[in-house]
């Protein structure tokens, strides 16, 4: 078994695609409209689906927004430099909700950003392997 994708319901597909591709630097891998069901599926990621997990953006045409509830946590992305990533994301219009810095009770450098629908994305600074 392997992890294929995580699905997020989005209110404005074009706005979400712009965030994930232009702000976070993912690629749109595929997209398909389902007119009979009135929804569109778009898949984004840093690598092809055959090589790793991706994000499925589901846009139900008649639903402009969603209540995220309190069960959702976040998506985590590894970055080389969390401070630089925050600066780049802000420069592209992205929303940083927690600036880069060491995590509470730890040393790992993290930051949090939010996509247009309010989903949280954690940026975790890469730690070189010891040895």
CA proximity to 84, closest of 25, 129, 44: 25
What pTM value is reported for the model? Answer: 0.88
Q: Are 67 and 73 in contact (CB under 8 A)?
A: no
Q: Are residues 55 and 95 in the same domain?
A: no
Cα separations in angstroms, 92 against 19, 24, 85, 104, 129: 9, 9, 11, 27, 31
| 122 has catalytic annotation | yes
Q: Which of 14, 49, 51, 122 is catalytic?
A: 122
Domain membership flag for residue 66: no
pLDDT tens, residue by residue, 31-50: 999 999 999 999 999 999 99
Structural domains in the chain (count): 2
Q: Are residues 55 and 87 in the same domain?
A: no
Q: What is the extent of the structural domain holding 34?
A: 5-60
Domain membership flag for residue 92: yes
Query: What is the distance between the alpha carbons of residues 47 and 93, in angstroms, rounded to a whole number?
Result: 24
DSSP H or E segment with residue 120? strand 120-125
pLDDT tens per residue across all 131 residues of the chain: 889 999 999 999 999 999 999 999 999 999 999 999 999 999 999 999 999 999 999 999 999 999 988 888 999 999 999 999 999 999 999 999 999 999 988 899 999 999 999 999 999 999 877 66
Q: Are residues 56 and 87 in the same domain?
A: no
Domain membership flag for residue 65: no
Q: How far apart are the first and last CA of the chain?
A: 31
């Amino acid at each position: 078994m392997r992890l294929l994708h995580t699905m997020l319901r989005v209110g404005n597909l074009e706005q979400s695609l712009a965030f994930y591709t232009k702000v976070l630097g993912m690629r749109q891998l595929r997209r398909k409209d389902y007119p009979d069901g009135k929804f569109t599926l778009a898949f984004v990621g840093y690598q092809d689906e055959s090589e790793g997990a991706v994000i499925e953006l589901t846009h139900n045409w008649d639903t402009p927004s969603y209540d995220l509830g309190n069960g959702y946590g976040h998506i985590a992305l590894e970055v080389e430099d969390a401070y630089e990533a925050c600066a780049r994301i802000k420069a592209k219009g992205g929303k940083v909700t927690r600036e880069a810095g060491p995590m509470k009770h730890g040393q790992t450098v993290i930051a949090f950003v939010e996509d247009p629908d309010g989903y949280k994305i954690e940026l975790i600074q890469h730690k070189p392997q010891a040895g």
